[in-house]
């Protein structure tokens, strides 16, 4: 019952702070990253999140991929990563009347997965963000899992990484669904564990993506079974 009450409070808090953040990002267009960083620090504090990090984040990588269980995954990675990440989001989110501006204002990347022509636009936007020094951040599963197992990877991350020859930082994020369930709106304080795997250099000549998917699944399963 308490977790549901906390979840309801979080929903109200998100609605209010998202509006404030969008206002400041449009007002200070050249400082959107600073606005986001402040917002994420506030969220980590309000949600009562503690971090446990295993391994080292390679900030020189121009792509970050991770498993996806909750909106909290984005909050955690934005809080951790010092660079101005360019997240790839579904067009359905971008098209939302109010919340869609959380993608538009900081110039994140929107993709229409139903439109094949959208791939050209996606690659163009990725190149633009990379040229501006912004790493691409995405969830290769394409959507949230149930937190008990990882979903099969979609080919998008592989396509982008191969196209631009990116070095990829893989990460496993654990316990975010237990702390903030985006679907049932339950929330409780807790510890988020982030495991950084060794960076991988994208190479069209080898099956690096398939191997990486297996490695991430293995680490995830080992942690879940502990």
* pTM of the model as a whole: 0.93
Asked, for residue 214, whether it belongs to a domain, the answer is yes
Asked, for residue 210, whether it belongs to a domain, the answer is yes
Distance separating the N- and C-terminal Cα atoms of the chain: 27
Residue-level pLDDT at 11: 87
| Total structural domains within the chain | 1
Q: Are 180 and 76 in contact (CB under 8 A)?
A: no
Asked, for residue 108, whether it belongs to a domain, the answer is yes
Asked, for residue 105, whether it belongs to a domain, the answer is yes
* Residues constituting the chain: 226
By the 10 Å C-beta count (0-12 exposed, 13-18 middle, 19+ buried), 200 is classed as: buried
Asked, for residue 60, whether it belongs to a domain, the answer is yes
| Boundaries of domain holding 205 | 51-180+192-225
Asked, for residue 109, whether it belongs to a domain, the answer is yes
Asked, for residue 33, whether it belongs to a domain, the answer is no
Q: What is the mean pLDDT of each run of 10 residues along the chain (226 residues)?
A: 83 92 96 96 95 97 97 96 96 87 95 79 95 97 90 95 98 95 85 98 94 97 91
Asked, for residue 187, whether it belongs to a domain, the answer is no
3-state secondary structure the chain: CHHHHHHHHHHHHHHHHHHHHHHHHHHCHHHHHHHHHHHHHHHHHHCCEEEEEECCCCCCCCEEEECCCCCHHHHHHHHHCCCCCEEEEEHHHHCCCCCCHHHHCCCCEEECCCCCCHHHHHHHHHHHHHHCCCCEEECCCCCCCCCCCCCCCCCHHHHHHHHHCCEEEEEEEECHHHHEECCCCEECCEEEEEEECCCEECCCCCCHHHHHHHHHHHHHHHHHCC
């Amino acid at each position: 019952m308490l977790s549901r009450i906390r979840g309801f409070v979080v929903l109200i808090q998100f609605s209010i702070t998202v509006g404030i953040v969008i206002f400041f990002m449009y007002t200070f267009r050249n400082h959107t990253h600073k606005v986001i960083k402040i917002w994420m620090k506030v969220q980590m504090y309000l949600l009562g999140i503690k971090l446990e990090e295993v391994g080292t984040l390679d900030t020189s990588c121009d792509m970050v991929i991770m498993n996806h269980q909750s909106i909290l995954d984005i909050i955690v990675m934005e809080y951790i990563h010092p660079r101005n990440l360019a997240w790839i989001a579904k067009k359905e989110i971008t098209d939302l009347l109010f919340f869609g501006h959380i993608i538009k204002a900081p110039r994140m990347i929107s993709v229409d997965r139903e439109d094949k022509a959208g791939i050209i636009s996606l690659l163009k936007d990725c190149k633009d963000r990379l040229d501006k020094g912004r790493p691409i951040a995405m969830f290769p599963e394409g959507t949230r899992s149930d937190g008990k197992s990882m979903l099969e990877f979609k080919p998008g991350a592989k396509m982008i990484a191969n196209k631009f020859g990116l070095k990829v930082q893989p990460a496993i994020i654990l316990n975010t669904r237990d702390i903030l369930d985006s679907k049932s709106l339950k929330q409780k304080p807790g510890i988020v564990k982030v495991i950084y795997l060794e960076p991988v250099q994208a190479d069209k000549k080898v099956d690096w993506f398939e191997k990486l998917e297996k490695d991430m699944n293995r680490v995830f399963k080992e942690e879940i079974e502990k």
